[in-house]
Amino acid sequence: MTEVKQVLQQQLDTAWALLDYHVRQWHDDDLFWEPAPSHWTMHRVEGGWAPDFADVEPTPVPAPTIAWLTWHIGWWWSTALAHLKQTGVPAREDIAWPGTCASITEWLGEIHEAWRTALSATDRLDDPSAFPWPEEAGRTVADMCAWVNIELTKNAAEIGQLLIIRNARR
């Protein structure tokens, strides 16, 4: 299992580097840029921020803002971390999105470091895992960890594409 863990850690490093590349280029005014009339974003509410969200994804799927994507990363990664560490899974409503590029960078960096530490320490890669596939049997913690790398890569690409389009339209 050591080889699997090494591959997972190397993939994580690559996915994180992709996100970091885009994070170094963003500005606070990029967070709420609306790429389409139908979009999901974050909304200021008493005591913080709330995301647009639907339990059943609408068709067509709304285009996310960078703000929404960064909240989404924090939500699913915090949830995966709780599953890996076998601790309480945070409710979606309890994920506190920080709201500025600097604070988002710090927040996601803290989750990244906690994930790296937990991944390095785990000896559960062969254990069953239902997250993020509650209906599928036969998945393992290693599958969940690989999904984290794929999901982070996908979200980094989405953020990068939004920044490219926004900058091209300026």
Domain ranges of the chain: 2-53+62-169
Q: Which CATH superfamily is domain 2-53+62-169 in?
A: dinb family like domain (1.20.120.450)
**What does the mean pLDDT of the chain come to?**
96
CB 83, CB 129: distance < 8 Å: yes
Distance CA 50, CA 45 (A): 6
Q: Quickly state the pLDDT bin for 2 (edges 50, 70, 90).
A: confident
Return the pLDDT at 52.
97
pLDDT tens profile 5-38: 999 999 999 999 999 999 999 999 999 999 999 9
Return the pLDDT at 170.
81
